[in-house]
Structure 1
Amino acid sequence: MPNKEEFLKDHPYLFNKEVSRSDFPPAFFFGVATSAYQIEGACNEGGRGPSIWDAFTRREGTILDASNGDIAVDHYHRYKEDIELIAKLGFEAYRFSISWSRIFPDGLGTKINEEGVTFYNNIINTLLERGIQPYATLYHWDLPLHLEESIGGWLNKDVAKYFGIYADACFASFGDRVKHWITINEPQQTSINGYDTGIFAPGRRSSTEPYLAAHHQILAHATAVSIYRSKYKEKQGGQIGLVVDCEWAEPKSNKVEDKIAATRRLDFHLGWYLHPLYYGDYPEVMRETLAEKLPMFTEEEKALIRNSYDFLGLNHYTSRFIAHTTELPENHNFYRAQGVARIDEWDGGEPIGERAASEWLYVCPWGLRKALVYISQRYNNPPLYVTENGMDDEDTGSLHEMLDDKLRVQYYKGYLAAVSQAIKDGANVRGYFAWSLLDNFEWQLGYTKRFGLVYVDYKNGLTRHPKSSAYWFARLLKGGEDKKGKED
């Protein structure tokens, strides 16, 4: 495994204790991100139909603390308060997701729900009044339940058609003010955790279904892009793209087999979605490895998906060392197919980075620089946004302890330094969104983990309390000297 001291000599930028607004281009912006199911609540209000997560959270044993998003952090009723927080902290953009079942409760597009349109119009207008640019995600995992029950959800090719109808309605309703659209958030997580491990909705376990679900998400993305470009782009002047996630894969050693394994891991992770958008088909190594499990695109579909993006979003949290292996876990078809071992230690046994609350999340900022540069070099230097980046705390401490989130401040310093360096390396990175504005419902982990810059007091009226990291961002964005950072 790599020697820590030798490896980190190549990343001196991480040891500069200060990061400032001037480390980024003048047009570069900073924002915060959330998603609808995790924050909105109001599950039975405003004409909203149920989503697959409403059903999934009611299945016994699916959520760590047996919670759900019925109320979440009540953003539906508190959006003005939350947007005011965004403005006070100095963020210039807000990435939020639209709940498909608030626009079309049955998912089919038969009748638009005007109450849902009004809700998102109110959010968009309030953002613009405060000088904050809206970045809207059309799909952040909350498929209308009726589509799952009636046609099989992402396993049915028709879902791409219905996604196109939904996207069209959003473009028509909001596109005069929303100038940046994200079609789908992290399709890999939907595919693998929803259809392989079963830890996300709809909670299925299969060796073939993840690839079918992914295939239809790619087609749904491209369908929405085609509609936007043919009907709205010229008039509205916006841009549209896809958000992928990437745990950076660093070779465990200089052995050829480990270097190939790391590249294979990236092809299965990033290439699964970016290769079709750039080349019109899946990576060759996926075709060779998965054979008939991997669906085929028709020539017409290849033409539809190729170049179907104006920008790409990258969600990144952590990294791993990767080694080739034939001793593969029986309980995870996806990693078994890749033939890789994910390693979280240096050669001396020290963790790859300080661990956050989630067992998968280690603080290793160098991976973000490498991921951004890799995408830039592999995929013709597209416009890039870091659309999610952050870390979580365990929900165990007192309010004072939770607000004094020193590790999160250090996390953001290191990762922003990595973004700055990636830009110097030539990556076309245009903006950065911290995850998340608020502590919220964290999927299968419920409310046991806290990713927010703002603490939400779940036991006392869901009151909001900005953490030290929020104030650190405020100083950074307003150009103030990071005095507290020097003391940390």
Structure 2
Amino acid sequence: LYWITFNEPYIFNLMSYVETGKFAPGRSSAEHAFDILRGGSEGTEPYIATHNQILAHAATVKVYRTKYQEQQKGEIGMVLVGDWYVPYSDSEEDQSATSRALDFTFGWFLHPLVYGDYPSIMRSVVKERLPKFTEEETILIRESFDFIGFNYFTAYYAKDNSSEAIPNTQTPTYLTDLGPITITHERDGVLIGPKVEESSWLATYPQGLKDALIYLKNNYKNPKIYITEIGSIDIDGPQIDELINDEDRIKYHQHHLYYLNQAIKDGARVKGYFVWSLLDNFEWSMGFLHRFGLHYIDFNDTDLERIPKASAKWFQNFLKDMEDVQQD
């Protein structure tokens, strides 16, 4: 048995307390937030929410390990979103910006679970607004997982823009804490990887999967990892044949599996690869518009007819033979 306490808590906090506040509980102090959702504090509430999530996770793990694990022989962990960041250039400033971006996103959650506290850069920047763990809580949260779930979809360039930044006189927020960093899919007008035009966030970068896994190996004591979500999207439309004959999705997984294989050869402890998703599904922000599935769902059919896509048949054969991975 495998148990997951939280799935992508970073996304929950970002969408609930930082950006527009469009996810429940709908609190944001951002200027671009929906008027009805104003009233939150971007400088404190994201950190408080994360702190409580980490403590709740650790308490749940303690209960499971104490009462159920010996009998079930199961494992328990947390699933984290794994956006990867690539330095915009070889400059020391861009390297530092990349490290900071990783600490303020992925490290925000994993660092406490491995080492018992938040990354040092967060402590030095956020200061008293970042909650502290008691000695007892530190013991509780440290190593409070059997595995880490890793959801990988995309990568960004991280660029230091401190020379262009305007001195900040406003109340600090999570985004100002992150610092004068530009996060972008483009460098000199060239995308980091192929991108669906209708998607603002998903640019395909297979090498980022390997780089992220090796980063975890080297910086977080090489945890046991399951790739819990990884997949590409098609935009819903009338061309059903094109959606079913999804050769691009096959290439997507061939390329990512190639780099996954390289990471495993280099020592990353990856134990599973779960395609997102088995079926076209409902996405919280995009409804039925974005189709991730290996199986096409006719949402206009009362029986919701399911049709295996070409990628479903390919993946079935891949699982039988464990071959047919390609470098991009």
2:202 aligned with 1:202: no
In the TM superposition, residue 293 of structure 1 has moved relative to its aligned partner by 2.0
1:352-391 matches, cutoff 5 A: 352-356=192-196, 357-391=198-232
SS across alignment from 1:400:
helix
In the TM superposition, residue 194 of structure 1 has moved relative to its aligned partner by 1.4
SS across alignment from 2:190:
coil
1:396-435 matches, cutoff 5 A: 396-435=237-276
SS across alignment from 1:309:
coil
Q: Is the 8 A contact 1:243 1:315 kept in 2?
A: yes
In the TM superposition, residue 280 of structure 1 has moved relative to its aligned partner by 0.7
2:26 aligned with 1:184: no
2:149 aligned with 1:313: yes
CA RMSD after TM alignment: 2.0
Q: Using the alignment, how far apart are the partners of 1:360 and 1:397 within structure 2? A: 23
Q: Which residue of 2 aligns with 1:322?
A: 158
SS across alignment from 2:228:
strand
Q: Using the alignment, how far apart are the partners of 1:334 and 1:252 within structure 2? A: 22
SS across alignment from 2:143:
coil
SS across alignment from 1:217:
helix
Instruction: Select 2:281's aligned residue among 427, 436, 440.
Output: 440
In the TM superposition, residue 480 of structure 1 has moved relative to its aligned partner by 8.5
2:70 aligned with 1:234: yes
Change (3 A) 1:298 1:417: same
Q: Using the alignment, how far apart are the partners of 1:196 and 1:426 within structure 2? A: 36
SS across alignment from 1:443:
coil
In the TM superposition, residue 333 of structure 1 has moved relative to its aligned partner by 4.3
Unaligned runs of 5+ in 1: 1-178
What letter corresponds to residue 23 of structure 2 in structure 1?
F
| Cα deviation code 1:119-171 (max 9, x no counterpart) | xxxxxxxxxxxxxxxxxxxxxxxxxxxxxxxxxxxxxxxxxxxxxxxxxxxxx
| Cα deviation code 1:360-379 (max 9, x no counterpart) | 00111000100011011111
Q: Which residue of 1 aligns with 2:109?
A: 273
SS across alignment from 1:431:
strand
| Cα deviation code 1:305-358 (max 9, x no counterpart) | 01101111111101011111243899x9433321221121244x2211110342
Change (3 A) 1:397 1:350: farther
2:187 aligned with 1:351: no
Q: Is the 8 A contact 1:182 1:242 kept in 2?
A: yes
Q: Which residue of 1 aligns with 2:234?
A: 393
1:78-157 matches, cutoff 5 A: none
Q: Using the alignment, how far apart are the partners of 1:455 and 1:251 within structure 2? A: 37
Q: Using the alignment, how far apart are the partners of 1:274 and 1:388 within structure 2? A: 17
Q: Which residue of 1 aligns with 2:314?
A: 472
In the TM superposition, residue 203 of structure 1 has moved relative to its aligned partner by 2.1
Q: Structure 2 length as normaliser, TM-score?
A: 0.88
Q: Is the 8 A contact 1:276 1:282 kept in 2?
A: yes
Q: Is the 8 A contact 1:454 1:466 kept in 2?
A: yes
Q: Which residue of 1 aligns with 2:137?
A: 301
Q: Using the alignment, how far apart are the partners of 2:174 and 2:256 within structure 1? A: 28
Change (3 A) 1:481 1:224: closer
Unaligned runs of 5+ in 2: 29-40
Q: Which residue of 1 aligns with 2:15?
A: 193
What letter corresponds to residue 468 of structure 1 in structure 2?
A
What letter corresponds to residue 280 of structure 1 in structure 2?
G
What letter corresponds to residue 316 of structure 1 in structure 2?
Y
Q: Is the 8 A contact 1:199 1:444 kept in 2?
A: no
SS across alignment from 1:240:
strand
SS across alignment from 1:272:
helix
Structure possessing the higher relative contact order (Cα contacts under 8 Å, 6 or more residues apart): 1
Q: Structure 1 length as normaliser, TM-score?
A: 0.60
Q: Which residue of 2 aligns with 1:255?
A: 91
What letter corresponds to residue 438 of structure 1 in structure 2?
L
With 269-278 and 397-406 compared, the bigger mean Cα shift is at: 397-406
| Cα deviation code 1:166-207 (max 9, x no counterpart) | xxxxxxxxxxxxx21111111101111111111322222131
SS across alignment from 1:297:
coil
Q: Using the alignment, how far apart are the partners of 1:211 and 1:193 within structure 2? A: 13
What letter corresponds to residue 233 of structure 1 in structure 2?
Q
1:323-338 matches, cutoff 5 A: 323-326=159-162, 327=165, 333-338=173-178
> Would you say how many aligned residue pairs link Structure 1 and Structure 2?
304
2:282 aligned with 1:456: no
| Cα deviation code 1:43-97 (max 9, x no counterpart) | xxxxxxxxxxxxxxxxxxxxxxxxxxxxxxxxxxxxxxxxxxxxxxxxxxxxxxx
In the TM superposition, residue 300 of structure 1 has moved relative to its aligned partner by 1.0
Percent identical among aligned pairs is 48
| Cα deviation code 1:435-481 (max 9, x no counterpart) | 01111111021111111111111111211111111111011112287
1:60-75 matches, cutoff 5 A: none
Instruction: Select 1:245's aligned residue among 77, 81, 85.
Output: 81
Change (3 A) 1:443 1:428: same
